[in-house]
């Protein structure tokens, strides 16, 4: 129900014709394909930015997250099990989650110039 509600909200936001940044909620190719289709039909040119972070860093960050944002071990394992990395067909811009923001933004801008 939460995912359906979130997609309904995003679909409504697309009517604004403003730039929209969506973080999360697109862990599978099917979810990304659906959102890409909805955005394209609304006149947007969707762009996928994939942040890769190694498991040790991810676990370390999760232990420092505020309690309200922490996942149980089972929730984490379930989320990880359903996660699907983007395919080449999706043309993702891939950045490292370990690099500095400056390095990440240079990578993104460098890729945007090529699009």
Residue 115 has pLDDT above 70, yes or no: no
pLDDT tens digits for range 70-102: 888 898 899 899 999 999 999 999 989 888 889
**Would you state the pLDDT for residue 4?**
78
Look at residue 18 and tell me whether its pLDDT is greater than 70: yes
Cα distances from 48 to residues 1, 54, 112, in angstroms, run 24, 19, 11
Confidence of residue 7 (pLDDT cuts 50, 70, 90): confident
Token pair recorded at residue 55: 């498991």
> Comparing C-alpha atoms, which of 92, 96, 97 is closest to residue 112?
92
Tokens of 84: 């699907």
Residue with more model confidence, 82 or 1: 82
- To the question of pTM greater than 0.85 for the whole model, the response is no
- In tens, the pLDDT along 63-72 reads 888 888 888 8
Torsion of Cα atoms, 8 then 80 then 47 then 36, to 10°: -40
């Amino acid at each position: 129900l939460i995912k359906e509600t979130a997609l309904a909200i995003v679909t409504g936001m697309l009517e604004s014709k403003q730039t929209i940044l969506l973080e999360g909620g697109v862990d599978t190719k099917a979810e990304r394909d659906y959102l890409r289709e909805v955005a394209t039909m609304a006149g947007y040119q969707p762009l996928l930015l994939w942040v890769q972070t190694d498991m040790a860093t991810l676990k370390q960050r999760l232990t420092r997250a505020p309690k309200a944002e922490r996942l149980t071990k089972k929730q984490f394992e379930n989320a990880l099990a359903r996660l699907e990395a983007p395919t080449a067909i999706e043309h993702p811009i891939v950045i490292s989650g370990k690099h500095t923001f400056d390095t990440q933004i240079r990578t993104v801008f460098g890729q945007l110039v090529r699009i």
